[in-house]
């Protein structure tokens, strides 16, 4: 089910864009209010309109759409191979779904918790900036603050390796979209396992999909028993990120179903489902990293456009020109990265969504 994996990639990117837009709007208010010397209370009241009562329905809708796609594909495959004479009426009661969940999904309260902690971090930074700005030339301070804002204000979450080594800091948008990525993939596996119970199927396969990672490559196109799938599920883990504001770290292990995994699970009926993989593990790893870089650069370009808008409002033409030059370099880098992909199809798929 390659299209399910691409559906996950598209949904995750859309969530990242939504949160990036919220962060950029917060940044615009930060500098507008700082320049106008508005109080911390006024600033907090204004950004609360962005971060209080965030509507998460769009994420729940994405999960339901994905589950419908997975269910439709599983049932159609069963019909096509003659396992069933016609498409069954497949009703799932709420209680039946809950009782047959192999994975529990992230509660909405976790998203709200991180949104609120992010907001509190921005408010504290605004308060410190109000004090610091009086000790410097105002225009110079605002220009320097704009240049360091993403690193010092937005990047508040530390990403750890499976060995517990801090690798880098990430933005709230990256963290929450990764949580959603985990939920989407787990919900797809939940759906296939539920469908298998209904269809009396006991064998499974993880199909190859473009831009998979090296960690998952080993498991692809290998028929798996139900026990083997359950063992994979048992050894999976939560998102391996440390939330700096609380200092809490979740234990991790490395394998398929890692936080950024988009691999889906199919019911295995015949060898016809085993597609050939045209690329070596090294080539697959390179393609995965290229897509990650392209999506990262695309979101960075969005941040720079906001910075350019703020610099223009601050009357700092030098900073406007610098950001314009950075955007030009990013556009060039994206074109260069796409050219490294071996087919036009992969080049088109490299960005989960145009922006």
* 3-state DSSP percent of the chain in helix, strand and coil, to 5: 65, 5, 30
Q: Quick check: is 326 in a domain?
A: no
Of 274 and 171, the structure prediction assigns the larger pLDDT to 171
Q: What is the pLDDT of residues 12-50, one digit of tens each?
A: 999 999 999 999 999 999 999 999 999 999 999 999 999
Q: Nearest-5° angle of CA 194, CA 199, CA 204? A: 70
Closest CA to 260 of 229, 239, 284: 239
Q: What is the pLDDT of residues 195-208, one digit of tens each?
A: 898 888 999 999 88
Q: What is the mean pLDDT of residues 42-69?
A: 95
Q: What is the pLDDT of residues 315-347, one digit of tens each?
A: 999 999 999 999 999 999 999 999 999 999 889
Q: Quick check: is 290 in a domain?
A: no
Q: What is the mean pLDDT of residues 98-108?
A: 78
pLDDT confidence of residue 348? 85
β-bridge partners, 204: 224, 267
Domain count of the chain? 1
Structural domain harbouring 243: 2-279
Q: Quick check: is 102 in a domain?
A: yes
**If you average pLDDT over each of 43-52, 144-153, 270-279, 298-307, which comes out highest?**
43-52
β-bridge partners, 220: 206
Arithmetic mean of pLDDT over the chain? 85
User: Does the pLDDT at position 91 exceed 90?
Assistant: no
User: Does the pLDDT at position 215 exceed 90?
Assistant: no
Q: Quick check: is 344 in a domain?
A: no
Q: What is the mean pLDDT of residues 226-237?
A: 77
Backbone angles phi, psi at 242, to 5 degrees: -105, 130
Q: What is the mean pLDDT of residues 287-299?
A: 91
pLDDT confidence of residue 276? 76
Backbone angles phi, psi at 239, to 5 degrees: -55, 130
Q: Quick check: is 54 in a domain?
A: yes
**Spatial strand order in the sheet of 203-205:** 224-225, 203-205, 266-267
Backbone angles phi, psi at 302, to 5 degrees: -65, -40
pLDDT confidence of residue 257? 82
Helix (H, G, I), strand (E, B) or coil at 206: strand
User: Does the pLDDT at position 254 exceed 60?
Assistant: no
Write down the pTM of the prediction: 0.86
User: Does the pLDDT at position 246 exceed 70?
Assistant: no
Contact of 231 with 215, CB cutoff 8 Å: no
pLDDT confidence of residue 2? 64
Of 88 and 124, the structure prediction assigns the larger pLDDT to 124
Q: Quick check: is 296 in a domain?
A: no
pLDDT confidence of residue 16? 93
Long-range Cβ contact pairs of 96-100 (< 8 A, separation 24 or more): 97/194, 100/190, 100/193, 100/194, 100/197
Q: Quick check: is 349 in a domain?
A: no
Q: What is the mean pLDDT of residues 298-306?
A: 92
User: Does the pLDDT at position 290 exceed 80?
Assistant: yes
Q: What is the pLDDT of residues 136-152, one digit of tens each?
A: 999 999 999 999 998 88
User: Does the pLDDT at position 88 exceed 60?
Assistant: no
Q: Quick check: is 352 in a domain?
A: no
User: Does the pLDDT at position 243 exceed 50?
Assistant: no
Q: How confident is the model at residue 92 (pLDDT cuts 50, 70, 90)?
A: low
Closest CA to 158 of 89, 55, 56, 241: 241
Closest CA to 27 of 268, 343, 305: 305
* Nearest-10 crossing angle of helices 138-149, 317-339: 20
pLDDT confidence of residue 82? 72
Q: Which residues contact 243 (CB under 8 A, 6 or more apart)?
A: 114, 117, 157, 175
Q: How confident is the model at residue 216 (pLDDT cuts 50, 70, 90)?
A: confident
Radius of gyration for the chain, computed over Cα atoms and rounded to the nearest angstrom? 23
**If you average pLDDT over each of 97-101, 167-171, 247-251, which comes out highest?**
167-171
β-bridge partners, 160: 166
pLDDT confidence of residue 249? 40
User: Does the pLDDT at position 76 exceed 90?
Assistant: no
Measured over the CA atoms of residue 170, residue 173, residue 175 and residue 181, the dihedral's sign is: negative
pLDDT confidence of residue 258? 81
């Amino acid at each position: 089910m390659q299209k399910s994996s691409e559906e996950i990639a598209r949904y995750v990117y859309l969530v990242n864009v939504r949160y990036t837009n919220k962060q950029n709007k917060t940044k615009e208010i930060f500098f507008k209010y700082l320049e106008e010397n508005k109080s911390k209370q006024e600033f907090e009241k204004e950004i609360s309109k962005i971060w209080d009562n965030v509507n998460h329905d769009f994420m729940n809708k994405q999960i339901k759409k994905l589950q419908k796609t997975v269910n439709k594909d599983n049932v159609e495959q069963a019909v096509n191979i003659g396992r069933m004479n016609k498409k069954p009426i497949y009703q799932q009661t709420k209680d039946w779904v809950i009782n047959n969940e192999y994975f529990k999904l992230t509660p909405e309260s976790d998203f709200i918790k991180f949104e609120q902690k992010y907001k509190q971090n921005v408010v504290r930074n605004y308060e410190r900036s109000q004090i610091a700005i009086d000790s410097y030339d105002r225009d110079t301070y605002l220009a320097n603050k704009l240049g360091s804002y993403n690193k010092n204000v937005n990047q508040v979450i530390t990403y750890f390796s499976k060995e517990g080594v801090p690798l880098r800091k990430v933005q709230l948008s990256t963290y929450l979209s990764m949580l959603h990525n985990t939920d989407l993939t787990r919900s797809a596996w939940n759906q296939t396992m539920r469908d298998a119970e209904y269809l009396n199927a006991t064998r499974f396969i993880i199909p190859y999909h473009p831009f998979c990672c090296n960690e998952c490559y080993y498991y692809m196109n290998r028929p798996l028993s139900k026990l083997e799938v359950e063992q994979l599920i048992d050894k999976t883990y939560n998102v391996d990120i440390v939330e700096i504001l609380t200092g809490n770290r979740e234990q991790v292990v490395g394998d398929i179903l890692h936080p950024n995994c988009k691999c889906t699970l199919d019911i295995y009926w015949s060898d016809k489902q085993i597609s050939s993989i045209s690329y070596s593990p090294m080539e697959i790893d390179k393609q995965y990293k290229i897509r990650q870089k392209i999506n990262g650069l695309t979101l960075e370009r969005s941040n720079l456009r906001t910075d350019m808008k703020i610099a223009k409002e601050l009357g700092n033409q030098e900073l406007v020109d610098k950001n314009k030059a950075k955007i030009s370099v990013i556009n060039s880098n994206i074109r260069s990265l796409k050219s490294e992909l071996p087919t036009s199809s992969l080049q088109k798929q490299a960005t989960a969504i145009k922006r």
